[in-house]
Every structure is written in C-alpha cells, then in structure tokens.
Amino acid sequence: MTLLVTGATGFVMSVFARHWLETYPTEHLVALDLAPMDAAAQRYFAPVADRLTTIVADVTQPETWRPTLEAHTVTYVVHGASVTPISRGTVAEAKREPESEAPARIIDVNIMGTVAMLEWARSLRSLRRFVYVSSGSVYKHHGPDRPGEPLPEDGYVMPRRLYGIAKLASELIAERYGDMFGFSAASVRLSSVYGPMDRETGSRNFRHVPNRIAHKALGGDPVVRVNTMDGVGDYIQAEDVASGIAGLLKAPLLRFGTYNIAAGETTTVGDIASWAAERVPGFKAEVVPAAHADIVQDAALTGGMWGAYDISRILADTGWKPRPTREAFLAYMDWLSAETAR
C-alpha cells in the first residue's frame, strides 16, 4: 500500500511521513512538495529513505505530478501542502502583513491546490481515505459559550484572514468531493503545532511559543523576554499530530467530517519557560515591555482559536490521546539538542 503526502518535506507533514514509515514498515510513501529536500529533511528521512519516493512539483500544476503518480497504487492521501502566511511573535513581526504580499498565491495553493489533488484522487479505485490538513485558524477569537469548556468542531467558525478562509473552504470542498464521488474524506484542524523539523521553509516561517523558548534556552541565552507570563495556547507537538493523523487514516469508520488534533488544554508562557529550565538550569522568563520582548502575547486571548480544543471526537473514533504537554515539550528539547549537536 502507498500513502501520498503533499507538503511532505516541510514541517508537520515531514514528521507525519516519517512516523508513518516507521509505524508501518511494509508500506511505501510518496512525498510531493514544491521544495526539494533540504539538508535537515535528508537527515531526518535517512532511516526510512528506502521506502520513500519524492516528487518535486507544484500541487497547483497537476500535469507536473500526475504522470509520475501513475506508477503507484495510492491507497491513502494526506494533503498538507499550503502557504502559511502568519506573522506574530514580537511587536516588529506583528506589524508585517504577509498575506498582502501574495494574496493570489495563497488562494491558488491553499484552495485550487486542494481541488487539483481531489480531482486526481477521485479517479483512484484504490483510494481508501483522503485527509485534508486544516487549522484552528478557521475558528473565531472567542467561544465556546460556556467559559472553560474546550472548543468543539461544530460552530465557532469565522475566519477573518485569507489563510483561515482558504482552510475552511478546502474543508468543505474535500467533504463535498467525498460525498459526490464515494470516498472517505475528513479534515483535521490542528492547534498551535511545534516540534521536530520546525524550521523556516519557502512556504512557512513562523514559530510558536514552545519553539521560541526551546531555542532560546538551548542557544545559551539565560533569559527569554516576554510581555506576560499568562499568555496561553493549546500547543501540540508534531509527533503527536503525526500519530493522530495516522490513527484517522487507519480507523475502520470515521463518524465526522472534521477532527480537532490538539493537546486539549492550554499552557502558559510561564509554564513552558519553567519546563525549559528543567533541561537548562538557570534559564528563566522575564517580563518586559512589549516593545522589548522576544515573545509578545495578549493575555486576554483565552478562548476560541486561542483556547483549548475539544479532542473527544478523535479519541472516540481512534483512541488517540496526545502525550502530556510537559512530556512532549521536553521530548522536543531533547530532539533539538541532539539535532544542533550534529
């Protein structure tokens, strides 16, 4: 059996691709990405490279990749290729609006790239399941109605930026294609992801708080400057995302069209800094004015896309649970330490 993963040489999809190949040692994987493997990806995939085929092509141009795929009997598709134009982290970064730099490209890749992949996938007699990789960016900035509850997949959807708008549109398109052409299709909405292979690429240059703090601590800086200790996020490690997507692909039956993949709880900046100090004694977070901070967060943003996500659907349909957030973060620090020592 063969799995096709688009966007597979980037961040989250590379972690998923390697997880799949390690978990299912008799299966093959085709990685389709606009970018060829960089040095980090080549090292990362080396242990499983004998069962990996790479296609360097633009997902919006099917004539460049469909002929190559004809040689493979693809049974699963995970479509993760996208342009991720996010700008946050410091005051200076927040002033930049990356969506305005190439809005048509964002729409073309993130919507029409999905359509191109679905048009091809619907012709496959071997196809068992199509999973579209979406994002918590489809949600509102507030909700649910009863404070303290995790955010469910139903309702509270109101994207305001092109990235979230395109993600929501592609979710609906994938669901409709599945209905029209009789194949199993589902979307996964990821909360804030960090972890192995989180690096700058041509389609993504954004680092969530755990990544920033881990790099600060392991880079020898004794202090990370923050504007608040109380800013929160539902931070999920990429390796846990990988096992969650794999579980959805292999599940006998999916009862829903969308699934949150998240930690299911929020973690503060202060929490993450204290965990980093377990690996780097003496490291700490220091509160400074926002203009001088390495990490800027709004402590008032605790609901909607910024709060905890409900993960009961994926638990019920696959039995998947993420690792405890502290354990997952420390595992990432260990990976990052080993990688930087190479």
Residue 32 sits at the vertex; the CA angle it makes with 210 and 261, to the nearest 5 degrees, is 40
Burial (CB count within 10 angstroms: exposed 0-12, middle 13-18, buried 19+), residue 255 = exposed
In angstroms, the CA 212 to CA 275 distance is 13
Specify if 275 maps to a domain: no
What number is the average pLDDT over the span 84-99?
66
In angstroms, the CA 38 to CA 198 distance is 13
Specify if 243 maps to a domain: yes
Name the domain count of the chain: 1
What average pLDDT does the chain have?
A: 94
Model confidence pLDDT, tens digit, residues 193-229: 999 999 877 666 678 999 999 999 999 999 999 999 9
SS3 per-residue string spanning the chain: CEEEEECCCCCHHHHHHHHHHHHCCCCEEEEEECCCCCHHHHHHHHHHHHHEEEEECCCCCHHHCHHHHCCCCEEEEEECCCCECCCCCCHHHHCCCHHHHCHHHHHHHHHHHHHHHHHHHCCCCCCCEEEEEEEHHHECCCCCCCCCCCECCCCCECCCCHHHHHHHHHHHHHHHHHHHHCCEEEEEEECEEECCCCCCCCCECCCCHHHHHHHHHHCCCCEEEECCCCCEECEEEHHHHHHHHHHHHHCCCCCCCEEEECCCCCEEHHHHHHHHHHHCCCCEEEECCHHHCCECCCCCCCCHHHCCECCHHHHHHHCCCCCCHHHHHHHHHHHHHHHHCC
Task: Please name the residue that has the structure tokens 């539902």.
Answer: 234
In angstroms, the CA 338 to CA 202 distance is 24
Judged against a pLDDT cut of 60, whether residue 302 lies above it is answered with yes
Residues in the chain: 342
Which range of residues forms the domain containing residue 30?
2-201+236-264+308-322
Task: Please name the residue that has the structure tokens 């060829």.
Answer: 36
Task: Please name the residue that has the structure tokens 């049974």.
Answer: 75
Q: Which two tokens stand for residue 77?
A: 């598709």
Judged against a pLDDT cut of 60, whether residue 37 lies above it is answered with yes
What number is the average pLDDT over the span 314-324?
98
Model confidence pLDDT, tens digit, residues 130-182: 999 999 999 999 999 988 899 999 999 999 999 999 999 999 999 999 999 99
Judged against a pLDDT cut of 60, whether residue 88 lies above it is answered with no
What number is the average pLDDT over the span 20-35?
97
Burial (CB count within 10 angstroms: exposed 0-12, middle 13-18, buried 19+), residue 164 = buried
What number is the average pLDDT over the span 1-21?
96
Specify if 286 maps to a domain: no
pLDDT range class, residue 89, cuts 50, 70, 90: low
Specify if 108 maps to a domain: yes
pLDDT at 95: 63
Specify if 337 maps to a domain: no
pTM comes to 0.95
What number is the average pLDDT over the span 50-67?
97
Specify if 253 maps to a domain: yes
Cβ contacts of 177 within 8 Å, gap of 6 or more: 118, 121, 122, 130, 183, 185
Partners of 241 in beta bridges? none
With both helix axes pointing from N to C terminus, report the angle between 12-23 and 238-250 in degrees, rounded to the nearest 10. Answer: 60
Cβ contacts of 332 within 8 Å, gap of 6 or more: 194, 195, 196, 210, 214, 237
pLDDT at 215: 95
Specify if 72 maps to a domain: yes
Percent of the chain with pLDDT over 90: 89
Q: Which two tokens stand for residue 303?
A: 């609901």
In angstroms, the CA 309 to CA 136 distance is 9
Specify if 168 maps to a domain: yes
Model confidence pLDDT, tens digit, residues 238-289: 999 999 999 999 999 999 999 999 999 999 999 999 999 999 999 999 999 9
pLDDT at 200: 78
pLDDT at 94: 60
**Domain containing residue 20: CATH number:** 3.40.50.720
